[in-house]
Chains A and B, each alone.
Chain A
């Protein structure tokens, strides 16, 4: 299992143990956080699963992810689409903060 800390828009923080192979989007959803719209269900087609991600071992963003994140008014240097981060042991200790709603 991979330990991931999720921080919601109100600052509430929870650390969960998630299964490798799942996306961070699925992990946030399964942990019961209800703020993430993730409208396209994780197919990198919208930008409604936007998070700020801090941790080691993150793979760089793809061109599509980069372009989609550009649609957000809240983009930062650590912005990611949570559906595009697949959990693996390399991401142990990852911290993700749900970005403000656009």
Chain B
């Protein structure tokens, strides 16, 4: 066991999400024999987050089915779980951290996998009861308790994937949903206009009151009590029994930045996920790196794939198999009966090709940069996704006319 101030932990992992869990799992898989501990802010052993806004919320899966590994796994693999606490201070010279309960721990290697916190609305009323994020089990349980308790009108603020998935689930449950997006289209940060238009139409067809280009002025409610509505800057008021805020995350990196780690929007890491501090790595949502699949642009990639693959990369390095991180980014989102699969990073595209027919609810958007395929968004088009990711990996420059012709398999176009 890990005791405060006692023996150093060989690998101390900060964060019990996908990245932290996978780092520990991969260490043991690769034969790592040293001591391993995970410090996790939540009280549950590591669990999968994507189903929170999908199957868990819809009550298709119980929480026990979301565990990344069964609870006894961690003990069997001699991985200490220090739950319900977080690292508040790092001393990289002494290789020590201080936990929120005052415990001091010494590490050999520190892996920062703390992810991020939901970005809060920067306006009045954001602290009213009934205003929720969707990132943790606790967030979801609260919201589910409220829908059980009679909440009938929910306003979702933010038209990114979390907001859209929440809107889809709530609508299916019979809740009246209004979705407010500040930009002129949903998914503006991550996808092109074709995909945005398609999802906007789908949500409206399912009854979501979806409004784009609207700015929230403040949340209205009983002071010290519950939210009752959202006031927009154009003077409109949207009545709401509850509000979901899905406007991105703020990387949880303050203690590491305070300790001198380079970074601003996340912790800067090199091709091996090393931070600027000795024996300190950062992985997952909070790691900022030069992405090979975005022409070396420095970015954070918020996805399970990136969390898992970066964590594995670090675990292998700690087992003597250091290789630069180079994994094709991929992502998925399920809304209604729509399966979206994304490969690559579309940032910086200068041309899009539409393949298939959005009206038939099966199509792909292919993103090109100077003729090269850099990314695909595939909706109910698994074959395109599987074959298209090979085009991204191969940096292929196929004829756009051929890409658009869905009778020609993408396979032949590499």
Contacts and interface: CB of A to CB of B under 8 A. Distances in A.
A63 B48 CA distance: 26
Chain B, interface residues (CB within 8 Å), range: 20 to 34
A71 B391 CA distance: 12
Contacts of A35: 29
B65 A26 contact: yes
Interface string A72-98: 000000000000000000000000000
Interface in B21-52: 25, 28-29, 48, 50-51
Interface string A1-29: 00000000000000000000010001001
Contacts, number: 60
Interface string B307-337: 0100000000000000000000010101000
B157 to A, nearest CB: 26
Interface in A41-92: 41, 43-47, 63-64, 67-68, 70-71
B70 interface: yes
The 4 closest A-B pairs by CB, nearest first: A45-B332, A67-B382, A67-B383, A71-B386
Nearest to A22: B65
Interface residues of A, number: 22
Contacts of A70: 383, 386-387
Nearest to B77: A34
A46 B305 CA distance: 10
A68 B386 contact: yes
Contact of A64 (B29, B55, B308, B339): B339
Contacts of B341: 45
A41 B382 contact: no
Contact of A43 (B28, B70, B332): B332
B29 A40 contact: no
B389 interface: yes
Contacts of A37: 308
A40 B76 CA distance: 24
B304 interface: yes
B73 interface: yes
A68 B332 contact: no
B369 interface: no
A24 B51 CA distance: 18
A12 to B, nearest CB: 13
Given A32-B72, A43-B54, 11 more contacts: A22-B65, A35-B29, A37-B308, A43-B55, A43-B332, A43-B339, A45-B341, A64-B382, A67-B383, A70-B383, A70-B386
A32 B386 contact: no
B70 A41 contact: no
Nearest to A69: B386
